[in-house]
């Protein structure tokens, strides 16, 4: 009689199971990209000293991905610019309490966008309706510095022009002096509303005529025996002209 062959009972053989901790890295990555599906959009505010042209509807970006939009821009009672933000539900985890948020240029057309960067240290979970303090980007700090320098130069030029027009208006017996003063005033008002390129073209068109008017006024004053006034007006006009041409 041959010995019987035993067949193992499959039901009693334990099956290997996946370790829960082995799934955690992938799960965390999934949550960071997609957010927690059971929650709605994340709403919070960012405070800036200057929002630099940021407007409602501008996009909010994280690592090159659009994650939400600006829903409002207003000045608060302390004079800060308060930017309201809404981040889509699936991207909630992209923003933390220690995130760095700044305004950056959006393309070559001069638009703006709000960009979220990871902050230093461990991520601090975001709180709904929290307020973050925004920062200026390096590029915008440089642009702002140039803008302040430009404003300073424009103020100096404006003061020089005002001094010249006052001197011209003091010559009450000269109609040419009044006309030149009016022309200089219009010139300053119009160029202040133009872009740099437009102002440069406008100067090239208008300065020859203004120079000729100043020369005619000088001749008129000299003919009236007012050589001292003629020289002062001409010297002031030449200083103003040098400043204008230097800003072209």
Residues 239 and 168 in one domain: yes
Virtual torsion, Cα 228, 229, 235, 240, nearest 10 deg: 170
Boundary of a domain, candidates 136, 168, 201: 136
Q: Are residues 127 and 177 in the same domain?
A: no
- Domain match, 106 and 159 both: no
Q: Which of 87, 103, 136 is the last residue of a domain?
A: 136
Same-domain check for residues 153 and 230? yes
Q: Is residue 181 part of a domain?
A: yes
Considering only residues 228 and 146, tell me which one the structure prediction assigns the higher pLDDT: 228
Range of 17-21, 124-128, 144-148, 183-187 with top mean pLDDT: 124-128
Q: Is 105 in the same domain as 195?
A: no
Q: Are 182 and 234 part of one and the same domain?
A: yes
User: Are residues 163 and 128 both part of a single domain?
Assistant: no
Highest mean pLDDT among 112-121, 147-156, 203-212, 219-228: 112-121
Do residues 103 and 151 share a domain? no
Q: How far apart are CA 182 and CA 83, in angstroms?
A: 43
Give residue 92's Cα distance to chain centre: 26
In which domain, by residue range, is 226 found?
Answer: 142-246
For residue 21, is it within any domain? Answer: no
Q: What is the pLDDT of residue 70?
A: 96
25 part of a folded domain: no
Residue 177 located in a structural domain: yes
Share of the chain above pLDDT 90, in %: 27
Q: SS3 of 243, please?
A: helix
Is pLDDT of 38 > 60? no
Q: For residue 23, tell me if it sits in a domain.
A: no
pLDDT higher than threshold 60 for residue 140: no
Lowest mean pLDDT of 146-150, 172-176, 193-197, 223-227, name the range: 146-150
- Judge if 146 and 239 occupy the same domain: yes
- Is residue 85 domain-shared with residue 164, that is, in the same domain? no
Domain end (from 111, 136, 161): 136
Confidence of residue 132 (pLDDT cuts 50, 70, 90): very high
Q: What's the confidence (pLDDT) of residue 83? A: 95
| Residue 220 DSSP SS3 | helix
pLDDT value of position 138: 56
The answer to whether residues 170 and 78 belong to one domain is no
Mean pLDDT for 18-46 is: 61
Could you give the number of structural domains in the chain?
A: 2
- Residue 17 neighbours by CB distance under 10 Å: 6
Q: What is the mean pLDDT of residues 80-105?
A: 93
Give the single-character DSSP code of 98.
T
Return the structure tokens found at 77: 């009672």
User: Is the same domain home to 163 and 89?
Assistant: no
The string of pLDDT tens digits covering residues 163-212 is: 667 767 777 677 877 887 788 777 777 776 676 677 778 778 888 888 88
Q: Is residue 163 part of a domain?
A: yes
**Band of pLDDT at residue 215, cut at 50, 70 and 90:** confident
In a domain, residue 11? The reply is no
The answer to whether position 149 is within a domain reads: yes
* Nearest Cα to Cα of residue 60 among 32, 30, 99, 109: 99
State the pTM of this model. Answer: 0.45
| 120: Cβ contacts below 8 Å, ≥ 6 apart | 98
């Amino acid at each position: 009689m041959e010995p019987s062959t035993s067949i193992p009972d499959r039901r009693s053989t334990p099956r290997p199971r996946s370790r829960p901790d082995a799934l955690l890295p992938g799960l965390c990555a999934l949550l960071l990209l997609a957010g927690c599906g059971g929650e709605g959009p994340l709403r919070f505010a960012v405070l800036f000293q200057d929002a630099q042209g940021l407007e409602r509807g501008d996009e909010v970006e994280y690592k090159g991905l659009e994650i939400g939009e600006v829903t409002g821009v207003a000045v608060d009672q302390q004079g800060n610019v308060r930017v309201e933000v809404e981040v889509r539900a699936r991207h909630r985890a992209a923003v933390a309490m220690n995130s760095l948020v700044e305004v950056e240029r959006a393309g070559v057309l001069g638009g703006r966008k709000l960009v979220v960067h990871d902050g230093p240290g461990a991520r601090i979970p975001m709180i709904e309706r929290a307020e973050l303090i925004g920062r200026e980007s390096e590029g915008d700090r440089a642009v702002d510095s140039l803008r302040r320098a430009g404003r300073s130069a424009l103020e100096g030029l404006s003061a020089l022009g005002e001094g010249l027009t006052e001197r011209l208006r003091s010559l009450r017996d000269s109609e040419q002096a009044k006309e030149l003063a009016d022309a200089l005033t219009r010139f300053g008002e119009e160029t202040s509303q133009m872009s740099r390129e437009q102002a440069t073209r406008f100067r090239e068109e208008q300065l020859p005529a203004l120079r000729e008017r100043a020369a005619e006024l000088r001749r008129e004053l000299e003919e009236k025996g007012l050589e001292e006034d003629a020289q002062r007006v001409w010297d002031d006009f030449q200083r103003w002209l040098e400043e204008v041409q230097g800003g072209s």
